[in-house]
Structure 1
Amino acid sequence: MTLPERICYRSLTWTWGFYAIGALYVVGPVLAWMLAGLAVLSLYLGPALRRDLRPTGPVPWVVWLWIAGMAVMLVALWAGHLNWDLGMGRTIKSSIGWAKGWALMALFPLAGAVLQIRREVLVRAQCRLGLVTLCLLPMLAIAPTIGLPERILTSPLKAVGGPGPEYFTVYLYTLDPASWTPRWQFFAPWSPFAGLLGVVTVLFALEERHRGWMAAGLLAGLAMVLMSKSRMSLVALVVASVGPRLMPLVLKVWAWSAVSAVTASMAALWTPLSVAAMDAVAAFKGARADSTRVRETLQRIARERWANESVWFGHGQVEPGPHIVEYMPIGSHHTWWALLFVKGLVGFFAWAVPFLVHAAVTARDAVVHPQGRLPFGIVLVIGILSMGENVEIEAYLLWPALVMLGIHLREMADRA
């Protein structure tokens, strides 16, 4: 392995070790800036470096789009703080938060596109992490049954600052306040995000050629999805694993003929199918009615306050919510509405443009080449995640997926 590959491989396989000391939130940003710095150094020095540190080629245009978008995000943050007179202290703190959050959305793809990192290395490392997860699974599963505490410790590393203490806390499990049944969050700060990480693990495992390692990754990913009890993860598992593998059908004439036939038959079946779909949506929301109510109320408040108070640059930061949303911060639990509330239209498009362009690039490649399946699945997972979570504060755990997006852009350039 090259030096960048060893760094990524060991960082990923040691995920549970970092989690045990509450260091994951620190490791992610440090890794991002270190790899990006190495990428910039390799681009600058080029042939002067040893062979395994030389760049694989120029920076792809999609990565430049991500860099520009995240730079605009920082400008929107500063403008929002100035408009609401939040003070220099909060501005500096929020800028550091940008460096640990939104900046990672550009830094990791940059590293993957420029440095000599093979996709096989990341896939194998993810499956090795899956094996460690499987080894820990019995202890996690029986912990609530034998009366072990939910929380083991909160790391003193929380002094470096972060969105909340849960990012530095080691949990065995948590209890759902609605049903008082256990849910598992593995090495994530909360269960729904753990489920999405499980989906990413499954997508990586499907790329593994060794059957044993593939099985370890698949079983670990499925366990994370099921034990997190996340509805969003179940949807993402089907969409992100099956969708990219159906993309080549776009070029098949018989597939379009089948779609035409199904569409024509929908005229007679539309009413019962629409009723069944509405019932399914109602059942999906009713599975965790309190959570659905809080999320919808947070989104409504964010939408109304953005439209009435600060359209272009937002409010600069999240704000405490009222009792009706259980004091959850306004500007959380949804990337798109959170961006409008916190950073306004400028921040919204700073994220939307590179994300949607990258989604289109991966979708097109998934149609014509098998290498596009994993990146397109990753983009689908991030898109689904953005509908119920704040992507930027979770980028520190999504880093293997973001690096893979950069690797894919390099592979596309090599095939061109």
Structure 2
Amino acid sequence: MTPQNPIETIVLRTLTLTWPFYAFGALYVVGPVLAWLLGAVALVVLYLGPAVRDDMRATGSIPLIVWIWIAGMVMMLVALWVGHLDWGLGLKKTIKSSIGWAKGWALLALFPLIGAVLPIRREVLVRGQCIIGLWTLILAPILLIAPHIGLPERIFTSPLKTVGGPGPEYFSVYFFTWDPATWTPRWQFYAPWSPFAALLGVIMLLFALEDRCVKWRSIGVAAGLLMILASKSRMGLVGVVACTIGPRMMPLILRGWAWQAVSGLVASLAVFGTAALATASDFVAAFKGARADSTRVRATLQRIASERWQNDAFWFGHGTVHPGSHAVEYMPIGSHHTWFGLLFVKGLVGLVSLLIPFVWQTALTMIDAARSKRGALPMGIMMTFTLLSFGENIEIEAYLLWPALMMLGIHAREMDGVPRNALATG
């Protein structure tokens, strides 16, 4: 995989250096810097047009879906300012939160913009993810053996934490962590915690399945599966099945025989429906019971966030997360769920600001996945984001999701009809 322009070189080298960046606790800094740097380049090449060198010219105008992402994230900033004004949080906290927006929510618009405008091929991102997978497999033996030979959980916390962030775990380097519920080791690889690492593994697997080279595809799939299994995350196990099979089943909705098969299956529920429902209920109960403490804490956080949103700050939220009590193991109210977190922090305005572009993007990927293989990876990404949004705050993890976000922009460009050979010729 040879980059065809300086932008592809930057993207591929940044992906290749993921583990070295993690070793210095720098990943939380790299993501936003890359977003704003390449975002500025995108605006410059759009403005200069033909004056830009051939291999770096914009691939076309900004697609509609990217404009929707931009509008949504700008509204998110407005909701933040209004919420801070409503609650009298002061100028200092407003500036700090605005910087947080620039390192989080803004990335959800910047990376699709970069992918849609700059001449970056999807093959570069696919191979870059497989290279991360190779690093992961090389380092896996020492990571997996670490708890059994007495190595510490955390190696160190980077001085880069002084730049500010959600917490020290974003700048810390770990071998593994102990699960407080079972006192068994879990691995988070280059993510700040294990459940997020599992869904990063799902994304790596989705990318790897598109690599044309059998060797690199095998490496990426193996590394993705390792991240999913070693993290011991329930969401990861769901994602590896749903997000890989779902997009590849979409073409069936255009096949008449598939609808006939579904009709027959629905009709059979009259006979087997009760047993199927009981089996499904047992599975859900076992799924939740696998990590009962985690399920309880998350459910309590969601209930508190919902009640306080409705009673205290319906339109623009509370402006920021609030400390939680012992009942939620001191987890902040407004965390561990993107949608309930948005309602609590930014109110209904914030929720709608994300919901509209999120649903629009998902619909586009589903339509394209039904029509061609091109849409399988973007749809799998959106399915993974959906899973992630129900267990995490997606904005504070955008700094590691940037290849997937960039792919959404590339897909929007492809749907607008920009041929791949145009990227090679400028």
Aligned to 1:311: 314
SS for the counterpart of 1:403 is helix
Preserved CA contact (<8 Å) 2:58 2:118 = yes
Amino acid at match of 2:287: F
Q: Which deviations, in whole Å up to 9, do the C-alpha atoms of 1:342-363 show, x marking residues without a partner?
A: 0000000000000000000010
1:253 to 2:261 alignment: no
1:94 to 2:97 alignment: yes
Aligned to 2:67: 64
Amino acid at match of 2:297: V
Structure 1 length as normaliser, TM-score?
0.99
Matched residues, percent identical?
A: 66
Structure 2 length as normaliser, TM-score?
0.97
SS for the counterpart of 1:55 is coil
Work out which of the residue numbers 92, 112, 117 in structure 1 matches 2:115: 112
Aligned to 2:424: none
**5 Å matches for 1:352-371?**
352-371=355-374
Aligned to 1:278: 281
Amino acid at match of 1:71: V
SS for the counterpart of 2:180 is coil
SS for the counterpart of 1:398 is helix
How far apart, in 2, do the equivalents of 1:415 and 1:130 lie? 30
Deviation, 1:415, is 6.1
SS for the counterpart of 1:395 is helix
SS for the counterpart of 1:318 is coil
Preserved CA contact (<8 Å) 2:60 2:418 = no
User: Structure 1 segments of 4 or more deviating over 6 A?
Assistant: none
Deviation, 1:4, is 1.2
Work out which of the residue numbers 209, 212, 225 in structure 2 matches 1:222: 225
How far apart, in 2, do the equivalents of 1:382 and 1:21 lie? 27
**5 Å matches for 1:192-231?**
192-231=195-234
Aligned to 1:375: 378
How far apart, in 2, do the equivalents of 1:50 and 1:352 lie? 38
SS for the counterpart of 2:217 is helix
How far apart, in 2, do the equivalents of 1:246 and 1:392 lie? 29
1:296 to 2:304 alignment: no
RMSD over aligned CA atoms reads 0.7
**5 Å matches for 1:8-19?**
8-19=11-22
Distance 1:57 1:415, change over 3 A: closer
How far apart, in 1, do the equivalents of 2:354 and 2:52 lie? 34
Work out which of the residue numbers 122, 125, 137 in structure 1 matches 2:125: 122
Aligned to 2:391: 388
Deviation, 1:46, is 1.1
Amino acid at match of 1:192: P
Aligned to 1:242: 245
How far apart, in 2, do the equivalents of 1:256 and 1:234 lie? 28
SS for the counterpart of 2:191 is coil
Question: Which 5+ residue runs of structure 1 have no aligned equivalent?
Answer: none
Amino acid at match of 2:260: S
**5 Å matches for 1:171-210?**
171-210=174-213
1:402 to 2:405 alignment: yes
Aligned to 1:338: 341
1:411 to 2:414 alignment: yes
Deviation, 1:52, is 1.6
Deviation, 1:412, is 1.0
Work out which of the residue numbers 33, 38, 42 in structure 1 matches 2:45: 42
How far apart, in 1, do the equivalents of 2:389 and 2:6 lie? 33
How far apart, in 2, do the equivalents of 1:246 and 1:35 lie? 35
Work out which of the residue numbers 16, 31, 34 in structure 2 matches 1:31: 34
How far apart, in 2, do the equivalents of 1:53 and 1:215 lie? 32
Q: Which deviations, in whole Å up to 9, do the C-alpha atoms of 1:216-258 show, x marking residues without a partner?
A: 0000000000000000011011111000000000000000000
How far apart, in 2, do the equivalents of 1:133 and 1:46 lie? 40
How far apart, in 1, do the equivalents of 2:173 and 2:55 lie? 37
SS for the counterpart of 1:144 is helix
Q: Which deviations, in whole Å up to 9, do the C-alpha atoms of 1:121-142 show, x marking residues without a partner?
A: 1101110110110000001010
Question: Which 5+ residue runs of structure 2 have no aligned equivalent?
Answer: 420-426
Deviation, 1:410, is 0.7
Deviation, 1:414, is 1.5
How far apart, in 2, do the equivalents of 1:96 and 1:237 lie? 34
Work out which of the residue numbers 78, 82, 85 in structure 1 matches 2:85: 82
SS for the counterpart of 1:143 is helix
